[in-house]
């Protein structure tokens, strides 16, 4: 009973939540065009080598092997979402995208909503943090899509310190939508992007990543917001060339996992701890179970006071 009471009353920016990096990338479609954010060198590479190039790209762009339903079932509650239009698309559809296009946005959001409808006390964080090729009417379309799919499940933007499970359950809220665009200022249920900062180490070196993560925790407490620790290594062009046929998982993530997990195991929740932890291939090793167990540190501290 004590543990349940603690969890209900604790603000969610003080507990540790599981997240996935490029959450939608399981759905990346090798038959799709190259995304508009890709540099000319990549565009040229694909124009010369076609399908072969896209198969190789997918090995480096797909950072998850589970779809949204699988991730939700495993415990993922934060989703890193990047949205794009397709060039010359007469239907003006919106797609998830990371180098190549992925699923249609409405299909992914509906999949998440189906889980929420079956699990009334579960809460998710949807972080729309990159937009490619989007004009005002595309944003309007996405906002209307969110209204149509989630309706009253969405929690209006308030102070992060006020968001506890008790608060959300009392009001039947299940979705917090973060939107890294000025559009967020015009829509009550969109939380401004600055309330979900996600510092990016941009390194292939596990030691440098850990130093960066540790330093960023100190900065976190100056922001009064939710906060993401990206336990993610980013390949350089030279890394991709060396392991071009192997892909991200084999070349980088699996090799660096022991060092990254060693850092994760030393973390704690609370004002001086971490909040949302994201990773590639979240099913690898004991990432999920380890992050969940970290929250029991909070309960033990409560019991001893």
Residues recognised as catalytic: 21, 98
Examine the pLDDT at 212 and tell me if it is beyond 70.
yes
- Reported as a single tens digit per residue, the pLDDT across 151-170 is 999 999 999 999 999 999 99
Q: Percentage of the chain surpassing pLDDT 70?
A: 89
pLDDT at position 20 over 80? yes
Q: pTM value?
A: 0.92
What is the average per-residue pLDDT within 3-17? 75
34 versus 157: the higher-pLDDT residue is: 157
In this structure, the dihedral spanned by the alpha carbons of residues 221, 6, 161 and 226, taken in order and rounded to 10 degrees, is 50
Res. 37: pLDDT tops 70: yes
Least trusted range by pLDDT, from 133-137, 228-232, 270-274: 270-274
pLDDT of 301 reads 47
The pLDDT assigned to 298 comes to 53
| pLDDT reading at 302 higher than 80 | no
Q: What is the mean pLDDT of residues 167-181?
A: 97
Assigned architecture for domain 1-302: Alpha-Beta Barrel (3.20)
**Mean pLDDT, residues 192-216 taken together:** 95
CB burial readout 131-164, b (16+ within 10 A) else e: bbbbeeebbebbbeebeebbeebbbebeebeebb
41 touches 110 (CB < 8 A): no
pLDDT confidence bin for 5, thresholds 50/70/90: very low
What mean pLDDT is reported for the chain?
89
Q: Where are the domains of the chain?
A: 1-302
Residue 211: CB partners within 8 Å, gap ≥ 6?
none
pLDDT at residue 246, as a whole number: 87
Lookup: tokens for 13: 């920016």
Rounded alpha-carbon distances, angstroms, from residue 63 to 15, 257, 279: 25, 14, 9
Statement: residue 90 has pLDDT above 50: yes
What pLDDT score does 121 carry? 96
Least confident of 38-52, 90-104, 128-142, 210-224: 38-52
pLDDT at 303 over 50: no
């Amino acid at each position: 009973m004590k543990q349940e009471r603690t969890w209900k009353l604790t603000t969610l920016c003080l507990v540790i939540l599981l997240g996935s990096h490029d959450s939608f990338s399981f759905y990346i479609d090798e038959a799709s065009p190259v995304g508009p954010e890709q540099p000319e060198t990549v565009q040229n590479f694909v124009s010369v080598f076609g399908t072969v190039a896209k198969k190789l790209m997918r090995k480096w762009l797909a950072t998850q092997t589970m779809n949204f339903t699988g991730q939700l079932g495993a415990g993922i509650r934060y989703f890193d979402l990047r949205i794009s239009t397709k060039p010359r698309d007469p239907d003006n559809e919106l797609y998830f995208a990371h180098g190549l296009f992925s699923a249609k946005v409405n299909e992914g959001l509906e999949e998440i909503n189906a889980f929420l409808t079956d699990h009334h006390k579960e809460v998710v964080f949807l972080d729309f943090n990159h937009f490619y090729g989007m004009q005002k009417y595309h944003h309007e379309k996405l906002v209307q899509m969110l209204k149509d799919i989630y309706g009253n499940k969405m929690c209006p933007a308030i102070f992060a310190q006020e968001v506890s499970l008790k608060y959300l359950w009392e009001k039947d809220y299940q979705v917090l939508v973060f939107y890294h665009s000025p559009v967020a200022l015009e829509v009550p249920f969109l939380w401004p992007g600055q309330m979900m900062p996600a510092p990016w180490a941009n390194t292939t070196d596990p030691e440098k990543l850990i130093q960066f993560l540790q330093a960023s925790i100190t900065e976190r407490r100056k922001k009064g917001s939710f906060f993401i620790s990206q336990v993610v290594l980013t390949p350089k062009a030279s890394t991709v060339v060396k392991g071009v046929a192997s892909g991200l998982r084999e070349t980088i993530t699996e090799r660096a996992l022991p060092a990254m997990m060693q850092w994760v195991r030393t973390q704690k929740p609370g004002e001086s701890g971490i909040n949302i932890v994201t990773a590639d291939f979240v099913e690898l090793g004991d990432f999920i179970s380890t992050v969940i167990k970290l929250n029991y540190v909070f309960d033990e501290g409560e019991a001893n006071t």
